[in-house]
Amino acid sequence: MAKTAITCNSASPSSIFPTFIMGSAAAACGDDVVIFFTVGGAPAMVKGELEKIKGGKGMPDLMELYEGLCVLGGKIIVCELVLGVKDLKAGDFREGLEITGATSFLGEISDAQITFSF
């Protein structure tokens, strides 16, 4: 089993969709998946925001990808800097994710064999 690390740098559909497509695909293949949302990507993890993001024709349902990733044990980390920079609180984010710094993320993925950044 491989470890896949994904960094999401924007809350735009062009970053969110590939993050969850690759993350859920890796998890479905049996990989350990760790996704880190930077300050730019973290607003997508606020409760209710993923539901607002719609893909174009032929794109998968984003919530199905997210839920599938969670069911398969994917780990989602949000950069703690977003709390001050975007004036958000831990309670604003979806259940089940971790809010921590980049140093912790890097420690978590030190043995990752596959990395993506969107």
* Stated pTM of the model: 0.95
* Residue 1 predicted with pLDDT over 90: no
Helices (H), the chain: 13-28, 62-71, 82-85, 102-108
Q: What is the pLDDT of residues 8-34, one digit of tens each?
A: 999 999 999 999 999 999 999 999 999
Q: What is the CATH number of the domain that holds 83?
A: 3.40.1260.10
Q: What pLDDT is recorded for position 56? A: 87
User: How far is Cα 17 from Cα 35, in angstroms, rounded to an integer?
Assistant: 13
Q: In which domain, by residue range, is 13 found?
A: 3-117
pLDDT by residue (tens digit) across 56-115? 899 999 999 999 999 999 999 999 999 999 999 999 999 999 999 999 999 999 999 999
Question: How many independent structural domains does the chain possess?
Answer: 1
Positive or negative: CA dihedral 43, 4, 116, 17: negative
